[in-house]
Structure 1
Amino acid sequence: MLLLYHKIKIKFHQSLIVLIGYYLIHFLKNEYYKAHKSTQIKFH
Structure 2
Amino acid sequence: MDTSGDRVFVSIMHIQSNDYFYALDPAGLPLFDVIEVTVAPVSP
Q: TM-score range by the shorter chain?
A: 0.5 to 0.7
**Higher helix fraction: Structure 1 or Structure 2?**
1
Aligned alpha-carbon RMSD (Å): 1.4
Aligned to 2:20: 35
Q: TM-score, with normalisation over the residues of structure 1? A: 0.52
Unpaired segments ≥5 residues, structure 2 = 27-44
1:23 Cα deviation after fit: 0.5
Q: TM-score, with normalisation over the residues of structure 2? A: 0.52
**How do 1:18-33 residues align onto structure 2 when only pairs under 5 Å count?**
18-33=3-18
Instruction: Name segments (4+ residues, structure 1) moved above 2 Å.
Output: none
Aligned to 2:38: none
Which entry has the higher C-alpha Rg, 1 or 2? 1
